[in-house]
Structures are given as C-alpha cells and as structure tokens.
C-alpha cells in the first residue's frame, strides 16, 4: 500500500476516539483507478471558509513557552505524517489521516478578529505564537494571505509575535518581518527534520525541501530577523542521524539559536505513524516504535503535563547529549528571544478615535 501521490498519510482508515466512520473506497472509485494506468489519482485539496467568533486562543500549559496563539488554518497541506495536530480534525467529523491534509479550513477574518481583541481595555500584550498547531505558511497562504494580514496588525499595534514554519514561503513577508524585527517584535523558527530530500518527500510531502528551509534561515539572518532552527521532531532510527549536520548547516548560515523535540504520537497519530513505517521502513518499524515507547514510559505517547515534552531514558539522554555537544561545537545557544511588549498600542476600531 502506497500513500496517494504527494500526500503523507497512507489512508483515512484511522481508529477514532469519536466513533468516526471509516472512509471506505466504493466501487466507482476502484473502477476509476483502473482507468488511470493502475495509478492512484491525485487527491484534490479543498478549502472551507470558517468564520470563528474569536481568533486568539489562550492556554495555561506549563510545558510550552507561550500563553496565546493564532491558527489561521485548520488542517495542513504539508501532510507531515507525524503532526501532533492531526487529531483535531476528528472534532470536525473528519479523519486525522488524509482528510487532515486535503480538507482544509481557512479563517480570512483573522486580522479583524485580532484587532477587536487587542482593542479591548483589559487586554495585556504578550508574544502571540503562530504555527503552533498548523503551518501559517502552508501552500494555501499564497491564496489567502491570512498570516500576512495578522502580521500587519502586529506591526500596526506594536505587538510581538513568533512564527514556526516548515516553508520558505515565509520570505514573501520579509518586508513586514524586517520592520517587526527592527522593533524587536518578531522571531522566526524554521523546523528542519532531515537533510535528505527523498526522506522529506515521504515524511512531509508538501513542505519545502530541506535546502530551501536552510536558505530561508540564511535570508532571515541577513535581513536582521531573529532566526531559530528547530530540529523537530526527532524520529529515532529515521532522522536522528541528521542532528549534528542540521545544526552545522544552520550555524554556517548565521543561525545562533536551536532546539529539538522528540517525536510525539498523541491519539490517532500513533496508528498513522505505524502505518507509515510499515509502508516506507518495514525493516525498522518495530525498532522505531520500541524506542519511542522507551522514552515515553512504555507507551506510544505520554500526555501528562510536565513530562510530555521531556522524554526519558537512555535514548533521550543520548540525543540530549548529542544536541548539547553539537550546539557547543557550532557556537549556538537556546531559544530565548527578548521581544518587546512595551510598544503595544491599542488599535482604532471602526474609524473611531480614542477620547483620551
């Protein structure tokens, strides 16, 4: 069984917590495949417009370094098979498998909703994180430009923002990012999982190639934008061999900040990852999952606060040591960015000026 061309998840057949009915192939679909030289037809991406009542999400998690975020899109066309956000599609009665990367939702009202939130008298600024759930620069951003509109509001109001992406499309907003950077209002992290383009096409089929991500990091550095390389996720026995090389390549391009995150497999992601391993790496599938379980207390995933982002055991300690030594060798440090919250000014709403 091979995934449809250009997609990450092999199927939609994912056990769901919510009793989601399996998406079975019908006879017409099977007949159509036979008419295309036996090849699987390309799945088309669809986008549904969503009109939420708010756009800024707040959290009190002790495991992540931000308390608010914006997700301009639901689902992600990049198709990263390991994406921990996949289970959120089950909330829409859609599969965390192929549906997650083909049936997307866009929120074009994001900038207007953000401006309304920032205008509230009780609002207090802190960095807004973008790209924490789905990628703000996935391919449909070229059509909707929602991320750009959010950055425009941040620049207008002097509000700090951080971005995490796997796309060099971030450079399309280099004009805004440069202005935000000069005011100490932005930092950008680009995730690089491997340096093998063929592996990346299997693992994250519609994300930018590794070389393009490194080039984007270099362009950000040259533009004065605080740039960070995230080696995430580290997949044992698949991508961990690239840790030192990724850090070296990033350091050569002027990046001085880095972190790593071990593979996490919440809910429906675990069976998807097992299926992907059986398709692409049947020779080591059992080994990969055995290591994953060894760093997660014997389970596919540890969902507990305080431990879910801190893998334990021999393998975790080994990767942690390798990362620390490589960072020291290449003159790199941690991921702390000193963004300025003191420039924030509430936006004007509906053309009305403030009385005071």
Mean pLDDT of 89-116: 95
Question: Is residue 217 one of the residues assigned to a domain?
Answer: yes
The dihedral over CA atoms of 106, 11, 199, 293, expressed in degrees to the nearest 10, equals 100
Q: Is the dihedral of CA 171, 176, 182, 187 positive or negative?
A: negative
- CA dist 104 and 98 (Å) reads 11
pTM (2 decimals)?
Answer: 0.89
Question: Is residue 213 one of the residues assigned to a domain?
Answer: yes
What per-residue confidence (pLDDT) applies to 29?
Answer: 39
Tens digits of residue pLDDT in 17-41: 655 554 444 334 334 444 444 455 5
Quote the domain boundaries for residue 254. 43-262
What per-residue confidence (pLDDT) applies to 8?
Answer: 74
CATH code for the domain in which residue 102 is found: 3.20.20.70
Mean pLDDT of 46-53: 96
Higher-pLDDT residue of 23, 166: 166
Question: Is residue 15 one of the residues assigned to a domain?
Answer: no
Beta pairing class for 73-74 and 103-106: antiparallel
Cβ pair 87, 96 in contact under 8 A: yes
Question: Is residue 293 one of the residues assigned to a domain?
Answer: no
Q: Tell me, letter by letter, the H, E, C secondary structure of 70-110.
A: ECCEECCCCCCCCCCCHHHHHHHCCCCCHHHHHEEEECCCH
Query: Is residue 194 helix, strand or coil?
Result: coil
Question: Is residue 126 one of the residues assigned to a domain?
Answer: yes
Question: Is residue 338 one of the residues assigned to a domain?
Answer: no
Higher-pLDDT residue of 37, 173: 173
DSSP state of 265: -
Question: Is residue 103 one of the residues assigned to a domain?
Answer: yes
Tens digits of residue pLDDT in 240-289: 999 999 999 999 999 999 999 999 999 999 999 999 999 999 999 999 99
Question: Is residue 95 one of the residues assigned to a domain?
Answer: yes
Residues sharing a CB contact under 8 Å with residue 195, sequence separation 6 or more, in sequence order: 210, 211, 242, 245, 246, 249
Cβ pair 286, 232 in contact under 8 A: no
Spatial strand order in the sheet of 103-106: 46-49, 103-106, 73-74
């Amino acid at each position: 069984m091979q995934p449809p061309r250009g997609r990450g998840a092999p199927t939609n057949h994912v056990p769901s917590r919510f009793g989601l009915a399996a998406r079975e192939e019908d006879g017409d679909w099977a007949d159509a495949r036979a008419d295309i030289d036996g090849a699987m037809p390309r799945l088309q991406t669809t986008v549904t417009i969503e009109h939420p009542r708010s756009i800024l999400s707040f959290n009190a998690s002790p495991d992540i370094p931000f308390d608010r975020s914006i997700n301009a899109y639901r689902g992600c066309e990049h198709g990263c098979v390991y994406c921990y956000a996949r289970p959120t599609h089950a909330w829409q009665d859609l599969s965390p498998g192929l549906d997650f990367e083909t049936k997307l939702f866009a929120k074009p009202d994001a900038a207007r909703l953000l401006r309304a939130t920032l205008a509230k008298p009780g609002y207090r600024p802190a960095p807004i994180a973008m790209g924490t759930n789905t990628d703000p620069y996935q391919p449909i951003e070229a059509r909707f430009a929602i991320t750009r509109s959010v950055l425009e509001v941040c620049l207008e109001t002097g509000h700090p923002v951080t971005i995490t992406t796997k796309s060099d499309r971030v450079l399309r907003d280099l004009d805004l990012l440069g202005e935000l950077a000069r005011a100490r209002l932005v930092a950008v992290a680009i995730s690089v999982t491997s340096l093998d383009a063929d592996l990346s096409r299997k693992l994250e089929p519609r994300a930018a190639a590794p070389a393009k991500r490194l080039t984007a990091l270099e362009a950000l550095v040259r533009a004065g934008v605080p740039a960070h390389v995230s080696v995430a996720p580290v997949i044992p026995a698949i991508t961990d061999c690239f840790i030192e090389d990724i850090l070296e390549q990033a350091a050569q391009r002027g990046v001085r900040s880095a972190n790593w995150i071990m593979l996490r497999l919440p809910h429906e992601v675990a069976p998807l990852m097992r299926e992907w391993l059986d398709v692409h790496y049947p020779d080591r599938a059992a080994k990969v999952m055995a290591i994953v379980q060894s760093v997660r207390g014997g389970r596919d995933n540890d969902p507990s606060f305080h431990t879910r982002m801190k893998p334990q055991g021999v393998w975790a300690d080994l990767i942690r040591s390798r990362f620390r030594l490589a960072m020291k060798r290449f003159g790199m440090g941690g991921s702390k960015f000193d963004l300025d919250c003191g420039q924030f000014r509430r936006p004007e709403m509906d053309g009305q000026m403030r009385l005071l």
